[in-house]
A and B are shown apart, each in its own frame.
Chain A
């Protein structure tokens, strides 16, 4: 593995291998001193061309828990605002001495371009509405911890799938690991053409709600032009919000996940988010472990290939 850019193309063995490694790092993170020297001397640069706090902090925590040094880039204060090109920016940072770059960019494919330019490992921390592969790993890890396997589970992904990199990565990961995935959203938020999505699609949440072992609630992305894709937030909440009423109708063992940040009262009611069967903070914790697993796989020496 030279880069970690997409879930697409990974096998169930690939994914389970990474999750097995992540399980070991979960154990590390529970130690009194949650740190190992695996990547001492390595430098990981977090290049977040699109603002993000939580994913960036998670990657930095993961790198530091492996004893790597970190450098970070923020577009607001950088030379990008002086007109420097993306290519020149990443080559400049590389010249300071990096061993890998963690890239988030609002344009689909940007991490691939950067991988061509810098010739060192690139981790995709989210590109456009395309891929967010470490999110898929942390989601899969959270589900696997709870159920032991994803094989045979019924997973509903509810919300703005069309504009969601989380959904695209999650569907590929969940389906590869044997789950049966259903996309639930109004037509304007489903993929225009879902032929190549390994998931069923429906607009009627209430019809399928009771089938699910996992309800994955996507954030309503008002910042991505919500106004033009559905008439009102209250209509959306009425049809697709995970309310207390809908939560009560779920299978008793079903769990609820959300990638954050949540809009309480819109796609998820506060009481549901705070229920023990909503594993949202477990997801956040697992995010550090899976990012350690990926960083270790890319930078940690030959025995992990």
Chain B
């Protein structure tokens, strides 16, 4: 493979941004400077060049639910969306609650070779919330992020044990923070829309009470704690307060919680059904501001494929979750005001740091790994297709600004203009 040149983009290095060319050779950044020539050139004028995007929260459905997505199709969707690393959530069948399942996921990801697929380990065995998973085996298999995602770790005593175990090692608990009692039987945000539709609601407090409780456990155990898919303004405030105390707490927001609010659910189109639900306009705006000021550390897609027949049902019967990998970067750029450095921080540098993976989320430097994403923040477009196995996207037809020009993983171009390169 000859030299690849990313020509004329705004290149993000430790010194800030500069217009330059980037030479990629043998999987590494060989040179950053003006007037470079090589065997293949990608025109990056007007675009941002930064570290490859890292998603701390996606569902690749393999093993066990391959009719929705698999590691190959998910990897291709990730590459199309500018990602070079994706954390795969453990709500698979079987759950990623033991070392051999984690190794299967990372090995299969390496075999596909389109993005780095990093398994997230379950906190409890079978994600059943009763006893700890094989945290020892998972740790030995390289797992650093633990979550029962899809379900909250409801038992505070059990969570405390997991935190005690992981605190000494530096592992992170990633919590699906939704209280069971307050949310059970609910199908959308409890508010004016659910009231008019006559659909049982999930109050914002369902998220807030778990986050407040867990922050207290962080104080007690010193464990690293990450809140998934923040959805309420109150939660943003709780995170800010925990950070002000110096606690090791981080938080994530999904692109759909930035893009939409609960009025999108008025049509009862299951393309807008997810957990936590789309909440009020004020909540949405607080999440946007939180991401901008850094209270919310990262964007996690919560890419959650479901087959068409599973979503072609009335709202209350539809499974939770929407696609996101292919449009997350554009949605963030459209609905928040982030400069190039902040954009790559929230979508790459910070998630790689929280997830504790090497070779990802690194500002560009000569000799560094060539995991890169070129993003043009000015392109206006509306998505209409997906490379996922599923089609449950709320973004089809939505005007977006900004598009992934190219993704480079280990020196190889894995997507161009939103289309995977095989």
Contacts and interface: CB of A to CB of B under 8 A. Distances in A.
A112 to B, nearest CB: 6
A197 B197 contact: no
Contact of A113 (B191, B194, B201, B313): B313
B195 interface: yes
B244 interface: no
A129 B201 CA distance: 12
A117 B309 CA distance: 12
B314 A113 contact: yes
Interface of A is mostly: loop
User: Which interface residue of B195, B199, B267, B313 has the most chain A CB atoms within 10 A?
Assistant: B195
A130 B199 CA distance: 7
B190 A192 contact: yes
B46 to A, nearest CB: 41
A270 interface: no
B243 interface: no
A193 B192 contact: yes
Contacts of B197: 108-109, 128, 130
Interface in A180-218: 191-197
A163 interface: yes
A294 to B, nearest CB: 21
Contact of A193 (B191, B314, B316): B191
B198 A130 contact: yes
A165 B197 CA distance: 9
B320 to A, nearest CB: 15
A109 B192 contact: no
Interface in B314-367: 314-317
Contacts of B194: 192-193
Contacts of B191: 192-193
A110 interface: yes
A54 interface: no
Interface residues of A, number: 28
B282 to A, nearest CB: 13
A112 B197 CA distance: 13
Given A112-B268, A193-B190, A107 B317 contact: yes
Contacts of B201: 192
B312 interface: yes
Contacts of A129: 198-199
Q: How large is the interface on B (under 10, 10 to 19, 20 to 34, 35 or more residues)?
A: 10 to 19
A152 B393 CA distance: 47
Given A85-B309, A195-B192, A168 B314 contact: no
B195 A192 contact: yes
Contact of A197 (B195, B268, B316): B195
B268 A108 contact: yes
A227 interface: no
B196 interface: yes
Given A193-B192, A196-B192, A165 B198 contact: yes
A144 B74 CA distance: 59
Contacts of B196: 168, 191, 196-197
B396 to A, nearest CB: 15
A113 B197 CA distance: 15
A194 B190 CA distance: 11
Contact of A128 (B198, B312, B313): B198
Nearest to A88: B309
B314 A86 contact: yes
Contacts of A87: 309, 312-313
A105 interface: yes
Contacts of A195: 192
B261 to A, nearest CB: 14
A112 B199 contact: no
B356 to A, nearest CB: 42
Given A107-B317, A109-B315, A112-B267, A196 B198 contact: no
A191 B267 CA distance: 19
A112 B313 CA distance: 10
Contact of A163 (B190, B198, B317): B198
Contacts of B268: 108-109, 112-113
Interface centre among B196, B197, B199, B312 (most CB of A within 10 A): B196
A117 B311 CA distance: 13
Contacts of A128: 197-199, 316
A164 B196 CA distance: 10
Contacts of A105: 314
Interface in B185-209: 190-192, 194-199, 201
A107 B315 contact: yes
Contacts of A112: 267-268
Interface in B225-273: 267-268
B195 A108 contact: no
Contacts of A197: 195-196
A192 B316 CA distance: 18
Interface in A241-264: none
A107 B309 CA distance: 17
A165 B198 CA distance: 7
B105 to A, nearest CB: 31
23 contacts: A85-B312, A87-B309, A87-B313, A105-B314, A107-B313, A107-B317, A108-B197, A108-B198, A108-B199, A108-B315, A109-B314, A109-B315, A110-B314, A112-B267, A128-B198, A130-B198, A130-B199, A168-B198, A192-B201, A193-B191, A194-B195, A196-B192, A196-B196
Given A85-B312, A108-B315, 6 more contacts: A87-B309, A87-B312, A107-B313, A108-B316, A128-B199, A128-B316
Give the 7 A-B residue pairs with the shortest CB-CB distance, closest first: A129-B198, A109-B268, A107-B314, A110-B314, A191-B195, A130-B198, A107-B316
Interface of B: 190-192, 194-199, 201, 267-268, 309, 312-317
